[in-house]
Amino acid sequence: MKKTTLFFAMALLAVTPAMAQYEACTADATKVYHTSNAGWTASEWYPIINIDAETLTPAATGLSAHSGVHGEQTSSTFSSGIFKTPVYNVDENMTPVETAVQWPVKFYMSCVAPEFYTSAYTKIVLNGATKWSGSGDVCYNNNNSIKQSPIWEKKGFIELSRLAADAAAPEVSRHGYIMIPDLPQVERVQFSFSSTGWKRGFKLDIKHNDGEWEPLQWEASDIAPSILPFSEQGYGFEVMINKQEDPASKISLRWTIWDGDTIHANVTKDDGSKYSTSHTPLAQKQVARIHQIKVFSGVVPAEAPVLESATNNVFVNNITAHFNGSDIVLSETAAVTLFSADGRVSYQGTTDRISASQFNKGIYVLKMIDSEGAISRAKIRL
């Protein structure tokens, strides 16, 4: 693989990909989640993707325009579809330059605000507020009075819908996401995030080749005051993938809102217990905003995936189900109905796991509806 010697300036800063450390800041040693603001690092590999929301427009992307007056407000308008972003190479001076290749980016229930700043910047600088959400607690040593956010003065974000399911389609999630499919030989991904409050998170999922979606970087919300107290003014993240020298590797990335987490260990606990909030893709949750996305690769792709439409494209997978011990495990959270052989409903709910021990032996049909309303079915023998 050809390496570049790219060392161009990085505009934003980042936290360590893993959960950041604690710092005791009160007499009773209250644990506080805080960021290092260590910085996005320079990569020697090709900067093939650079999506900057400040440069995006509704006309060019199909994303709805944010309906608010400024960045302190949330939007009420969203759209779904696909826009394309240029693939970059480097010139003889190692400066990124656009190629003719356009990479597809799928978006669902999202909007764009190229001229808006973060909520905290809007409150303090534009609207004259003296403090932002959650700034009154003396434990928060990463607030605006101590250290401004890496994206403090950076305009532009894509806002992801936090809406609950609509009454007309109660089984279809309206939680927004952005997804970039089938990126070759990814070395690292860098991105920046903010929200409209002091304790609001996001999720970044990854899919390797044709595998299942897996959590890559999740920041919890609504769990404890010590998590993401600083999200209103923004974070930057860098996550290493290290597939730059694997010509068979294709990576898909999906950013969405945090709607619960039953996988990760709770960083506010000492006993290794996991977060207790279950996935709730049909409930209203918290706002997530993505400001910029950069992807570095070991190769500059000569062609991009072909997507037919927002709901019919090459990377849509059917939901699958399999047994794991005594549980029926789904490949993703879905609205599930389990029918017995005679057509009666044996189970109904939104989940990614069903305990099979509660049912009689026999053949069942599992109906699964994903976040976009796509239906999958599986036959299960208990």
Can you count the helices (H) and strands (E) in the chain?
2, 21
CA gap 163, 167 in Å, rounded: 12
DSSP-derived pairing of the beta strands 79-90 and 31-33: unpaired
CA gap 9, 7 in Å, rounded: 7
User: What pLDDT is recorded for position 319?
Assistant: 76
Query: Residue 289 CA to chain centroid, in angstroms?
Result: 9
CA gap 263, 257 in Å, rounded: 16
User: What pLDDT is recorded for position 223?
Assistant: 67
User: What pLDDT is recorded for position 32?
Assistant: 38
User: What pLDDT is recorded for position 225?
Assistant: 57
CA gap 299, 153 in Å, rounded: 33
User: What pLDDT is recorded for position 6?
Assistant: 38
Phi, psi of 122 (to 5 degrees): -60, -45
The full set of domain ranges for the chain reads 22-297, 321-381
User: What pLDDT is recorded for position 47?
Assistant: 96
User: What pLDDT is recorded for position 115?
Assistant: 97
User: What pLDDT is recorded for position 224?
Assistant: 61
- The pTM score is 0.74
CA gap 91, 140 in Å, rounded: 44
**Are 353 and 319 within 8 A, CB to CB?**
no
User: What pLDDT is recorded for position 155?
Assistant: 95
User: What pLDDT is recorded for position 158?
Assistant: 98
- CA distances from residue 306 to 88, 247, 344 in whole angstroms, order as listed: 18, 20, 41
- CA distances from residue 249 to 51, 78, 207, 252, 357 in whole angstroms, order as listed: 22, 33, 10, 10, 39
Residue listed under structure tokens 């189900």 = 321
CA gap 194, 144 in Å, rounded: 14
| Tens-binned pLDDT, residue by residue, of the chain (382 aa) | 344 433 333 333 333 333 333 333 333 333 333 444 456 888 999 999 999 999 999 999 999 999 999 999 999 999 999 999 999 999 988 899 999 999 999 999 999 999 999 998 898 889 988 776 766 554 444 333 334 456 888 899 999 999 999 888 888 889 999 999 999 999 999 999 899 987 788 889 999 998 888 888 887 776 665 565 667 878 888 889 999 999 999 999 999 998 887 777 776 777 877 776 778 888 999 899 999 999 999 999 999 987 654 433 223 346 777 777 678 888 778 888 888 877 788 888 888 888 888 888 888 888 888 776 777 777 777 7
User: What pLDDT is recorded for position 248?
Assistant: 96
User: What pLDDT is recorded for position 53?
Assistant: 97
321-381 is classed CATH 1.20.58:
no
